Amino acid sequence: MTSTTTTDGGAKACKNRHCSADPARANRLPLAGLLALAMASFITVLTEALPAGLLPQMSTGLGLSEALIGQLVTVYALGTLVSAIPLTAATRGWRRRPLLIIAIGGFAIVNTVTAVSTSYALTLGARFLAGVFAGLLWALVAGYAGRMVPDHLKGRAIAVAMVGIPLALSLGIPAGTFLGAAVGWRVTFGIMSGLTLILIGWVLTTVPDFPGQAADKRLPIGKVFRLPGIRPVLFVTLAFVLAHNILYTYIAPFLVPAGLTDRVDIVLLIFGVAALAAIWIVGILIDRWLRELVLVSTALFAFAALALGLGGAAPAALYVAVGVWGLGYGGAATLFQTASAKTAGDAADVAQSMIVTVWNIAIAGGGLIGGILLETLGVRSFPWALVALLAATLMVAWSARTHGFPGEDPG
């Protein structure tokens, strides 16, 4: 197809069937399909985190300790960690929509098994498989959203597809926890399975299909890792998300010195609202200001960590710092996945699977490192560990000006 000239004056190549000779249409997002991807992200995050919100109910229902129920979250993360890269590499030649349907449909199966199972071993197995399906889905979503639009809208499209993450964290998990307490945790997982079946129909009617990657165009995983810019993006993702999870995982004990032990819900609400605002801002600006947004987001998070270190015992200062933290963190998934997709080009899905793997390493590492710090140096050490990680993040992002986090292309 020939190139079209958009209303912003840039000549944009029409690389897929969603481009149009009509400039207005070429600048319009396919919202129905992108929101279906956002719903897939929402269900994935909800499936991962809901056992943590329903810990007491599931413990009573299965007759197990809360510590054992907590491993349902751990084994989910393990499934994602071990499967994302090999499964994505093995399915690069598959058509995209059938593969997306398989990943989404897997959640209907595993959540149904979780809802009816009375066996801890069976539930653990279902949760591991849920993590496997999540690893496949996370590797697909960003690249899929990018293929649905012209190049100059890729960042905005990925932002819409990723909006399910902060929505699940700020609204979905509290709502699921409330529903589990009201009608039972088994019914809650059953409702999630029902929503997943509805989503499959939504995807079939609004999300286009794309071919898989031809065999002669598939780069080996090692070559994808060595592409210019990929390693800086992976390091920035690892350090940034590790810093976040050290604090987020242990937010309850961190609030003790400020006397806010019974205000964890308020603190997380402030964080969630700020994160939603951040992803809205990122969605508007990302296609022109990706590099700047990464640097500003990292700097905001670092400023919040510094404020928590210097004045975290004062409730007012803590509330403000948490809001700034949310602003810095909210668009992170969109920023890093967009940077990865643009850097990797045709190898975007494999690069995304690396992002997924690194992200889950950071989640596990946050729990481990945060626990060590808590037991040895106490919660006052958290902000300074975050400042060190975020300083390294900022330096690597700043230096990746040619590949990874390049500045705006004036052409």
For 254-319, what is the HEC assignment?
A: HCHHHCCHHHHHHHHHHHHHHHHHHHHHHHHHHHHHHHHHHHHHHHHHHHHHHHHHHHCCCHHHHH
- Across the chain, mean pLDDT equals 86
Query: Which residues contact residue 313 at a Cβ distance below 8 angstroms, ignoring those fewer than 6 apart?
Result: 257, 258
Residues 211 and 192 in one domain: yes
Mean pLDDT of 111-140: 94
Residues 37 and 124 in one domain: yes
The pLDDT value recorded for residue 371 is 85
The pLDDT value recorded for residue 267 is 85
Residue type, 380: R
The CATH code of the domain that includes 28 is 1.20.1250.20
CA dist 17 and 366 (Å) reads 42
Give the number of residues written for the chain.
Answer: 411
- Is residue 410 predicted with pLDDT exceeding 70? no
Domain boundary among 182, 217, 252: 217
Domain boundary among 169, 196, 217: 217
Tell me if residue 119 falls in helix, strand or coil. coil
Domain boundary among 217, 250, 283: 217
- Is residue 396 predicted with pLDDT exceeding 90? yes
Quick one: what percent of the chain has pLDDT higher than 70? Answer: 92
Residues 229 and 196 in one domain: no
Residues 185 and 227 in one domain: no
The pLDDT value recorded for residue 17 is 47
Mean pLDDT of 340-360: 86
Residues 192 and 269 in one domain: no
Residue that has been written with the tokens 């990657």 in this structure: 213
Residues 372 and 345 in one domain: yes
Query: Which residues contact residue 40 at a Cβ distance below 8 angstroms, ignoring those fewer than 6 apart?
Result: 100, 103, 104, 137, 141, 164, 199, 203
Angle at 206 between CA 205 and CA 210, to 5 degrees: 100
- DSSP structure class, residue 203: H
The pLDDT value recorded for residue 24 is 53
Residue 93 lies in domain: 4-217
CA dist 11 and 19 (Å) reads 12
The pLDDT value recorded for residue 249 is 76
Per-residue pLDDT tens digits for 46-61: 998 888 778 788 888 9
pLDDT band at residue 233, thresholds of 50, 70 and 90?
very high
Residues 237 and 209 in one domain: no
Q: Which of 258-267 are b and which e, b meaning 16 or more Cβ less than 10 Å from the residue's Cβ?
A: bebeebeeeb
CA dist 339 and 305 (Å) reads 24
The pLDDT value recorded for residue 5 is 36
The Cα diameter of the chain in Å comes to: 64
Helix then strand then coil, in percent of the chain rounded to 5, is: 80, 0, 20
- Is residue 135 predicted with pLDDT exceeding 80? yes
Per-residue pLDDT tens digits for 307-324: 999 988 899 999 999 999
